[in-house]
Amino acid sequence: MDFLDANNTLMIGCFMRVIGLIIIFICSAALILGCTSVGYYAQSVHGQWDILSRSHPINDVLRDPETTDALKRKLTQVLEIRRFASDALSLPDNSSYTRYADLGRRYAVWNVFAAPEFSLTPETWCFPIIGCVVYRGYFKQEDAQRFARRLKTQGKDVFIGGVPAYSTLGWFADPMLNTVMHYSAEELAGLVFHELAHQMIYVKDDSGFNESFATAVELEGVERWIQAAGDAARIGAYRERKERDRKVIALILEYKERLSRIYTTDQDEAWMKTQKRALIDELRKRFRVLVAPWTGYDHFVRWFSAPINNAKLVAVVAYHDLVPAFAALLRRHRGNMSKFFAEVGQLARLSKDARHARLKAEL
């Protein structure tokens, strides 16, 4: 089936103009940054172009006789969620998540997180437009693994996380991907709300603020979406799952703080290494005790079954550390999303220390 309609041609034309600018940037950067940095930007451009070139309007995919009934049901649900996001949550009303792309792989990108062996201050990488972030993304898993190995030789704790979807912050019409078609309805809704929140407010050089804000919008949005469906049993089950997730995240953050205190002592590295290993073992045991009574709970099980280090803890902190503060801010505005977004926008204009202090004062 040929999906290259007028809208797709227009999108590709606009994208190619941007690609041209990025190529000019890469060629200029070669004189300054060296081959390694230029190679990284080149893979980013190629990866983003590959995703967009594979995307087709969801309505066309729904009309395609070769589309399976299961995929049609999911994509129909995506369009309903997309309308709800703008109509009920005041999130951006644009073409994002009105297109679909099959990437033929499990994840869209692989993010590499890193931290020193005895510190929970994450490594950061800085890029044009988005500023500095606590991860470095790759469109090929082997490239992420290669970069991770290089960091390990420097003595860093490293974690690679597969990412099923991400936002281009409104620069392009982000498509819905095959990587999330196995999600439940609630998870699909949460993904759309989370990524559209990034398009609305994004602060350079503050991953913790950005991710916690988007996660808070996601949680509130999914609850409202379920409530709009009038399914009391479903909202109860969702709240139970999220309360269990909250307890697990609180446990992880507790041990992050305990590890931080160990790392700031004047003890030698051998002592810190022993204490670090003991605390991580204790964290695993407490997780098993916590979830034992929860029938059917599988969130975080894979997270705990794999090695845990500082970089892995940093990844959790980035997404959840400020969520309670954003939730409190939304409650203060009595659930009014427009007023909430307006105040978050004001916070975004403050310095990083000032905005974090203002947020924590909400608790």
pLDDT at residue 115, rounded to an integer = 97
264 backbone φψ class: left, alpha, beta (φ>0; ψ -120 to 50): alpha
Task: State the pLDDT confidence band at 16, using cuts at 50, 70 and 90.
Answer: very low
Residue 170 and residue 205: Cα distance in Å, rounded?
A: 18
Indicate the helix (H) or strand (E) that contains 136.
strand 136-138
pLDDT at residue 40, rounded to an integer = 86
Q: DSSP H helical segments within the chain, as ranges? A: 6-29, 35-54, 58-63, 69-89, 141-153, 185-200, 207-228, 232-263, 269-291, 301-305, 310-320, 323-332, 337-348, 352-360
Among 56-70, 114-128, 331-345, the least confident range: 114-128
Collapsed DSSP state (helix, strand, coil) of residue 178: helix
25 backbone φψ class: left, alpha, beta (φ>0; ψ -120 to 50): alpha
Task: State the pLDDT confidence band at 126, using cuts at 50, 70 and 90.
Answer: confident
- Indicate if the pLDDT at residue 296 is higher than 80: yes
Domains of the chain, residue spans: 1-54
Task: State the pLDDT confidence band at 232, using cuts at 50, 70 and 90.
Answer: confident
Residue 151 and residue 156: Cα distance in Å, rounded?
A: 6
Collapsed DSSP state (helix, strand, coil) of residue 179: helix
Task: State the pLDDT confidence band at 26, using cuts at 50, 70 and 90.
Answer: very low
**What percent of the chain clears pLDDT 70, i.e. is strictly above it?**
90
How high does pLDDT run on average in the chain?
A: 89
Give mean pLDDT, residues 180-202: 95
Give mean pLDDT, residues 274-297: 97
Collapsed DSSP state (helix, strand, coil) of residue 110: strand
pLDDT at residue 41, rounded to an integer = 83
Collapsed DSSP state (helix, strand, coil) of residue 163: strand
pLDDT per residue over 67-89, tens digit each? 999 999 999 999 999 999 999 99
CA neighbor of 197 nearest in space, from 224, 240, 166: 166
Among 7-21, 54-68, 315-329, the least confident range: 7-21
CA neighbor of 218 nearest in space, from 247, 240, 238: 238
Among 22-36, 213-227, 229-243, the least confident range: 22-36
Task: State the pLDDT confidence band at 8, using cuts at 50, 70 and 90.
Answer: very low
Query: Phi, psi at residue 211, to the nearest 5°?
Result: -70, -40
Token pair, residue 12, equals 């590709």
Task: State the pLDDT confidence band at 45, using cuts at 50, 70 and 90.
Answer: confident
pLDDT at residue 36, rounded to an integer = 53
Among 211-220, 246-255, 311-320, 323-332, the least confident range: 311-320
Whole-prediction pTM: 0.85
Q: Locate tokens 């050089």: which residue?
A: 205
Give mean pLDDT, residues 296-314: 94
Among 36-45, 54-63, 138-147, 206-215, the least confident range: 36-45
Among 34-48, 62-76, 118-132, 342-356, the least confident range: 34-48
- Indicate if the pLDDT at residue 25 is higher than 60: no
Give mean pLDDT, residues 329-348: 97
